[in-house]
Amino acid sequence: MDSRRRVPRTDLVLADPRLVATAGRLGRAVVKEAVAQAQRRVRQGEIAPEEVVDAAVAALPPYATRMRPVINMTGVLLHTNLGRAPLSPAAVAAAMAAAGSSDVEFDLATGARARRGRATLDALARAVPAAEDVHVVNNNAAALVLVATVLAAGREIVISRGELVEIGDGFRIPDLLVSTGARLCEVGTTNRTSYADYAAAVGPQTGFVLKVHPSNFRIEGFTGSVGVAALSDLGVPVVADIGSGLLAREPLLPEEPDAAGVLRAGADLVTASGDKLLGGPQAGLLLGRRDLVDRCRRHPLARALRVDKLTLAALEATLRGPATPVHEALHADPAALGERAGALAGRLAEAGIDARALPSEATVGGGGAPGVTLRSAAVSLPERFAVPLRTGEPPVVGRVEGGRLLLDLRTLPPGRDDDVVRAVLGADG
């Protein structure tokens, strides 16, 4: 009899203990689809009937999501397409702890409702003592939209033409601001804006003056801009969008503004991202004057922009916990990276692969520290490895330069060197 006619019944295959256990982890529908694919392979003569279970098990995804964890070896610390900041183990554990029922807005002592995310807000306030009050929304754009709605709907936002920026995926700050019902009062020119430009524009219709840090580009040459300190005497609120999420000064990034410094300089409100240099989950941070933060918190739009319990837990752990992966990558010792690259290249060369260690330059990414490069080291492989490594398990993503694939060590945690060796050996088809 033709083996293709002996396709095992679906219910019998699903009863296999390995698939029963997997169904509890991935869901019955996912497992059933893998079984159906294996049965089709039998009908097509690709596998024998007795291989259906093994084929189904092999085809099952590792997670119940199609989103796959990736090993980032691009040399871009905050790669937007790869999810920006990798969470610390402490933040991951905190999110898992909060995944079930939690006291996110419940007081266990009194049995009454409590302020949502109070522990996270306390941790953020402690991290930035210069802020009178703090609030958290779901990303930095949300923080800016909330501020513009509360302070300037139907009024004007004064902003330099040199700060009307566009960031990733065609997202433009001016479009966001206008969507709130505010009007833009553009001052100065692309390369030069003076204090007099701002002063002439401020009037009864001004909601606030906005300073936007041009975090993904630099203007050089004949330029001029006005700092927050000078703008703070205009008689209207000054809002600073610092973008990258630095809460305190970072000596390695001297031109990157930090929340504490900008507030001390006179900003009334600061907006920033939680998933960039802070190293936490996607979130928008709003810090500054108590009365303005309170107005934002009480606005109806704040409910639509609030973060979930997983974000609150991960953000608190990021603020209170150990150094984040972003911090560790930023401060990695170039000499140690070179030693790791040499060891990795040596192991791969012993296996017959054309692997070389060489100096490299990494970047911050994520719209932060434009023009800043960080000394690093990489393993150089033939370009043919790029696709099989990207599509392997786990995917390893590097960058192609000059016909070679570079795997930059600055964005690889030290404990994952062996994973990369195995991935490269597996991709050497």
CA distance 71 to 413: 9
CA distance 246 to 272: 8
Name which of 246, 255, 307, 303 is nearest 278 in CA terms.
Answer: 246
pTM beyond 0.85: yes
CA distance 353 to 358: 15
CA distance 11 to 380: 49
Residue 316: phi and psi, rounded to 5, are: -60, -45
pLDDT tens profile 80-126: 999 999 999 999 999 999 999 999 999 999 999 999 999 999 999 99
Residue 130: phi and psi, rounded to 5, are: -70, -15
160: CB partners within 8 A, 6+ apart: 186, 187, 188, 193, 197, 198, 211, 225, 226
CA distance 343 to 357: 8
Residue 200 has what pLDDT? 95
**Torsion 84-88-90-92 (CA) sign:** positive
Residue 368 has what pLDDT? 77
pLDDT tens profile 354-391: 999 999 999 998 877 877 899 999 999 999 999 999 99
CA distance 203 to 158: 10
What is the CA angle 203-208-209, rounded to 5? 95
Strand order in the sheet with 399-401: 76-78, 356-365, 368-382, 404-408, 399-401
Name which of 45, 54, 61, 42 is nearest 16 in CA terms.
Answer: 54
Give the relative orientation of helices 28-43 and 52-59 as an angle to the nearest 10 degrees: 130
pLDDT tens profile 65-83: 888 999 999 999 999 999 9
Residue 166 has what pLDDT? 76
DSSP string, 108-161: TTTTEE--TTHHHHHHHHHH-TT-SEEEEESSHHHHHHHHHHHHHTTSEEEEEG
Residue 216 has what pLDDT? 55
Residue 73 has what pLDDT? 98
Residue 221 has what pLDDT? 67
Helix (H/G/I), strand (E/B), else coil: 317: helix
- Could you give the domains of the chain? 3-59 (no CATH), 71-83+327-427 (3.90.1150.180), 89-321 (3.40.640.10)
Residues of the chain with pLDDT under 50: 1
User: Cis omega before residue 86 (within 30°)?
Assistant: no
> Looking at this protein, which amino acid is placed at residue 251?
P
Residue 14 has what pLDDT? 93
